[in-house]
Amino acid sequence: MDWSTLESHINVTFANKDLLVQAFVHRSYLNENPNFYLDHNERLEFLGDAVLELVVTDYLYHHYPNPEGELTAWRAAIVNAKMLAKIAERLRLNSYLLLSRGEAKDAGKARQVILANALEALLGAIHLDQGYAAAAGFVHAQIIPELAEVITEQKYKDAKSLLQEIAQDKRGITPHYAVLKEWGPDHAKNFRVGVYLGEEAVGEGEGISKQDAQQFAAEDALRKLGWR
């Protein structure tokens, strides 16, 4: 892999290249390559998660006079797995993941979690290699810019709550949900859920729990109705 291209892309040049590589080593890769010279990235992810939360918290504290509850919601919206996976995709981190053959074939929700974890591990690696200031610089360049959209589009509110709030305001209706389909064994169920405003079907979503499917259905409805 051309790690120098990645370094150029993220504007960080590592002194210890092994830290950079390790940030992308998924546990599954070591199951198939037990003699690989580096460990998996979970300890780096643990460190990067803490650094990310501190940098974002510090930024919010010094730039917004809002009450704690709002700041906490905003922080959660830009450090959650969905947002981090989106940023990781933008940075093309997917090309650098070291995965087992089975994991490499899965491009669904599990891959999004792996990408989010790899971004946190990369941040942990930057912190170890370059120090806190460099790690903070990475967060300010790649993650903090998402904050403006989170606030203006109210992405800090979960989709179900936002849909209910807007539907009640615009139409005087509370959304309701119905399971349209479920499949899979008991230990790995999947659900398709529809969301309705009165009799009108306004969105659908799938998830590994009814709650997840409802959230995705609400997101779908917000997009289709032009409310997001």
Assess whether 120 carries a catalytic annotation: yes
Rounded CA gap, 202 and 70, in Å?
29
Assess whether 199 carries a catalytic annotation: no
Q: What is the DSSP letter of 225?
A: H
C-alpha distances in Å from residue 47, one per residue of 2, 96, 137, 198? 25, 20, 16, 47
Which one from 32, 39, 45, 49 is the annotated catalytic residue?
49
Rounded CA gap, 64 and 19, in Å?
34
Which one from 120, 129, 219, 220 is the annotated catalytic residue?
120
- Please report, as a single letter, which amino acid is at residue 104: A
- SS3 labels along 168-222: HHHHCCCCEEEEEEEECCHHHCEEEEEEEECCEEEEEEEECCHHHHHHHHHHHHH
- Please report, as a single letter, which amino acid is at residue 216: F
Contact 113, 81 (CB under 8 A): yes
The catalytic site residues sit at: 49, 120
